[in-house]
Amino acid sequence: MCGYAGEDSTPLRAADLARLVSERAAQLRAEGEEISPVVCSTRKLAENFWGSAWMRHLALCEEGGFALSPGRTLLRHGCVLDLHIAPGSIRALISAQDLYEVQLSLSPLTDEQAGALRAACAGNVGSLVALLEGKANADLLHTLCDAETGLLPNPGDWKMSCSCPDWSTPCPHAAAAIYAAGVLIDRDPSLLFTLRSLDPALLIAPPTTSAANSSPLDPSSLEKTFGIKIDL
Residue 124 lies in a domain: no
Residue 37 lies in a domain: yes
Pick the residue with more confidence: 73 or 7? Answer: 73
Residue 149 lies in a domain: no
d(C-alpha 145, C-alpha 96), whole Å: 32
The string of DSSP codes covering 138-172 is HHHHHHHT-TTTSSSPPGGGEEEEESSS--SSS-H
Asked whether 74 and 94 are in contact (CB, 8 A), the reply is yes
Residue 230 lies in a domain: no
Q: Name the pTM for this structure.
A: 0.82
Residue 77 lies in a domain: yes
Residue 121 lies in a domain: no
State the chain's mean pLDDT as an integer.
85
Total domain count, the chain: 1
Q: What is the pLDDT of residues 28-57, one digit of tens each?
A: 999 999 999 999 866 789 999 999 999 999
Task: Calculate what percentage of the chain has a pLDDT beyond 70.
Answer: 83
Asked whether 195 and 87 are in contact (CB, 8 A), the reply is yes
Domain span at 40: 14-109+154-201
Residue 95 lies in a domain: yes
